[in-house]
Structure 1
Amino acid sequence: MADRYFMRVTAGTSYDMNDQVEVPINNSTPLKISNELADIELNVRIQNYKGLPKGSSNTSPYFSTPPHDYNKDQYSIAFRFTPKKPSGTDSEGIKATDLQFGNDFDHPIRDRLPPGFNTALNIVRWWIDPGLDGDAYADSPYLYGPALSSFNVVHSGKGEFDEEKGGLWFEEGGDDHGLEERQEIGAPSDAKARMKWALKKESKEHWVWKYGKTYGVDFFNPYLDFSDFALRLPGFTLPIIKYWDGQGLRYVLRNRVTGQVYLVVLFTLYLKEDVNEDGSIKPEALEAAKKASGHIAQDDGDDAESFDEEKVLEQARRNLSTVEVDDKVETNEDDVD
């Protein structure tokens, strides 16, 4: 079924697709996005990519560079983020409790959630992002986590641009001043340790994303396979395309308190017949996507009752049994709306 579609990725500082621009996938040159809230330089990389714009490389040197080669990472959203100080504010930046990163949708998805969705979400929270929270059954579904614990890499500084590594490249830590600031508040220099540290309420109270300072962040994992539109978790595969309702997959960087949006990265599917030879989208298909109606995929007849949640969770536990997982870290109710 996946071969019937082209993927297109757009990005901007607004939910409005009219304000977004097409992202050149696996291109090392960062896409620059700016508004009154932030300046952003963005790279999006997708392994085995077959989408738009036409002629895009199907991979990036990023995926053959450690640690992404042995992690078998499938995609990356990496960007430099420089928040701007709003007029009339006397704060030095955005509190770690307030900067969120995650997914949201315009319309309900509860009627399209597949068998095993809650199991998948439990595995994600348990293994990938314990800080993730939200409501997938709401009229406007969302799953957000504090940016400080959600990003795989946080670099307190501009990081580097390396053509041989696929463009923007960030290591956990920072420049000299950034490292000094992190040490002062006890932020670990190891990525996994920082993600765990950032789940604690007192840690988020010490970290501030400072106005005028540039941070390099990278979000990646081996679990979401865009080549056949499937979520592949330990012991469990979820065929996303089968349950797609036409809405795009949207990653959002936002302020929990003000609701202001700093960055939107939108992954949208289009039927191949709705794409012109030059890679442009036919007007009617583009309008359908903007209204988040799209084309609803048909059920292929699999029996929903065949899903065995207990068996899947047990398989996930076996797959992860050799890895130390801290399930005692507490999250804070302020992390989500």
Structure 2
Amino acid sequence: MAEKYLIRVTAGPSYDINSHVQVPVNDPTPVHVASDLFEADLNVRVHNYRGLPRDAPKTSPYFQTELHRHNGDQYSIALRFRLKRPPRSHEEAGSASRLQDGVPATDLQFGNDFDHPIRDRLPPGFNTALNIVKWWIDPGLDGDAYADVPHLYGPALSSFNTVHVGEGEHDPEKGGLWFEEGGDDDGMKWRSEVGAPDDAKARMKWALKQDSKERWIWEYNRTYGVDFFNPYIDFDAFALKLPGFNLPIIKYWDGQGLRYVLRNRVTGQVYLVVLFTLHLAEDINQDGTLKPAALQALAHTSGGLGKGKPILEGGPERDEDGASEDDAIDEARQKLSDVDLQGKTPTNDDDVD
């Protein structure tokens, strides 16, 4: 069934699909996204890519670098960005209070959300898969997949595999934007001043602590490079593949795109949306443009989580779905122990002091 579909990746500064540009997947040349609040250059890499544009490379040299070849990583969202200082309102200008110098790590979130409920489409074993992800891959993940506006977010500081304070590199032989954990000279000094460790595993562990998230401020007009990657989503087969748990996504798909969002937890402001949309191959013209049926389907992805409302707390705990969670977690513990986040073993909440 998967071969009937093609992927289209777009990115923009809001949920509105009209604000998006199509991302040339696996092209080392970044696309630029900008708004009054945010500016970024973006590369999306997908291994065994099957989608638009039709001449997109099947893969990227990024996946042949030592780290990503060892991990078997399947995709990457890499961006060089800076947050812009929000315009000062008339009321703020007349008050004695001052605007913050940036967005605290408690408030800058990265994750997924959907326009419409998905609770009736979630497969048996979903809670087990989510608990594997939260236990081993991203302990900071929180949200409610069963809500009317489903969402799963984590603090960006602990969710991104690589965080570089500074410009980083652009190297076509590595697939475009390339960031090592750490920073340039000024960035390393800045990290040291806030107490952030120099390597990825230690930084992700450190970032799970409340006091660390309060000390790290994503400063306005400072440049950061971040990369999000993993081996768990196979975009060729449209499947989620975790040790002990495989899910054919296409079997439960309800037509909504897979949306990655960078947002402010408190204000609800959206900075960046990267949208992976599936289209029937028959709904795409030979030149890669969308036929009316595909355009109509795409229009349903333009709403966004609560129209930009803040999400301050995660959703309620849900009953287990009867899957053998203990067996799956045990298999995940054994198989994920070799996965390398950035030259280190994975972070899990058992590591947090």
SS of 2:8's equivalent in the other structure is: strand
Q: C-alpha separation between the residues in 1 aligned to 2:322 and 2:127?
A: 15
- Following superposition, the deviation at residue 92 of structure 1 comes to 0.8
SS of 1:161's equivalent in the other structure is: strand
Q: C-alpha separation between the residues in 2 aligned to 1:97 and 1:307?
A: 33
Deviations along 1:32-72, whole A, 9 cap, x unmatched?
Answer: 11110011000000000010011100101100012111111
- The equivalent of 1:77 in structure 2 is 77
- The equivalent of 1:93 in structure 2 is 102
- The equivalent of 2:164 in structure 1 is 155
- The equivalent of 2:333 in structure 1 is 317
C-alpha distance 30-101 of structure 1, shift in aligned 2 (>3 A): same
- The equivalent of 2:63 in structure 1 is 63
- Following superposition, the deviation at residue 307 of structure 1 comes to 5.5
Q: C-alpha separation between the residues in 2 aligned to 1:72 and 1:328?
A: 25
Moved more, 207-216 or 88-97: 88-97
- The equivalent of 1:24 in structure 2 is 24
Q: C-alpha separation between the residues in 1 aligned to 2:142 and 2:329?
A: 19
Moved more, 89-98 or 23-32: 89-98
Q: C-alpha separation between the residues in 1 aligned to 2:270 and 2:65?
A: 32
- Following superposition, the deviation at residue 327 of structure 1 comes to 3.1
Q: C-alpha separation between the residues in 1 aligned to 2:131 and 2:327?
A: 14
Q: C-alpha separation between the residues in 1 aligned to 2:337 and 2:260?
A: 30
SS of 1:277's equivalent in the other structure is: coil
Amino acid corresponding to residue 195 of structure 2 in structure 1: G
Gaps of 5+ in 2: 89-97, 303-320, 339-344
- RMSD of the alignment, in Å? 1.9
Amino acid corresponding to residue 172 of structure 1 in structure 2: E
Q: C-alpha separation between the residues in 2 aligned to 1:324 and 1:218?
A: 15
SS of 1:315's equivalent in the other structure is: helix
* TM-score between both structures, scaled by the size of structure 2: 0.87
- The equivalent of 2:4 in structure 1 is 4
Q: C-alpha separation between the residues in 2 aligned to 1:290 and 1:209?
A: 33
Q: C-alpha separation between the residues in 2 aligned to 1:92 and 1:37?
A: 13
Amino acid corresponding to residue 296 of structure 2 in structure 1: E
Tell me if the contact between 2:137 and 2:347 (Cα under 8 Å) persists in the aligned partners: no
**Match 2:188 to one of 176, 179, 184:** 179
**Match 1:280 to one of 278, 289, 310:** 289
**Match 2:273 to one of 264, 268, 271:** 264
Q: C-alpha separation between the residues in 1 aligned to 2:177 and 2:291?
A: 32
- Following superposition, the deviation at residue 328 of structure 1 comes to 3.7
Deviations along 1:82-104, whole A, 9 cap, x unmatched?
Answer: 11111226211111111000000
Q: C-alpha separation between the residues in 2 aligned to 1:143 and 1:76?
A: 18
Deviations along 1:2-35, whole A, 9 cap, x unmatched?
Answer: 1010000000001011111110000000001111
**Match 2:349 to one of 311, 327, 337:** 327
Amino acid corresponding to residue 27 of structure 1 in structure 2: D
Q: C-alpha separation between the residues in 1 aligned to 2:83 and 2:187?
A: 15
Q: C-alpha separation between the residues in 1 aligned to 2:83 and 2:346?
A: 35
Q: C-alpha separation between the residues in 2 aligned to 1:307 and 1:45?
A: 33
* TM-score between both structures, scaled by the size of structure 1: 0.91
- The equivalent of 2:314 in structure 1 is none
SS of 1:134's equivalent in the other structure is: strand
Moved more, 231-240 or 259-268: 231-240
C-alpha distance 292-14 of structure 1, shift in aligned 2 (>3 A): closer
Q: Does 1:135 align with 2:144?
A: yes
C-alpha distance 71-320 of structure 1, shift in aligned 2 (>3 A): closer
- The equivalent of 1:248 in structure 2 is 257
SS of 2:170's equivalent in the other structure is: strand
SS of 1:168's equivalent in the other structure is: strand
C-alpha distance 325-166 of structure 1, shift in aligned 2 (>3 A): closer
Within-5 A mapping of 1:45-60: 45-60=45-60
Deviations along 1:122-176, whole A, 9 cap, x unmatched?
Answer: 0000111000000000000000000000000000001011111011000000011
Moved more, 312-321 or 280-289: 312-321
Report how many aligned residue pairs link the two structures.
320
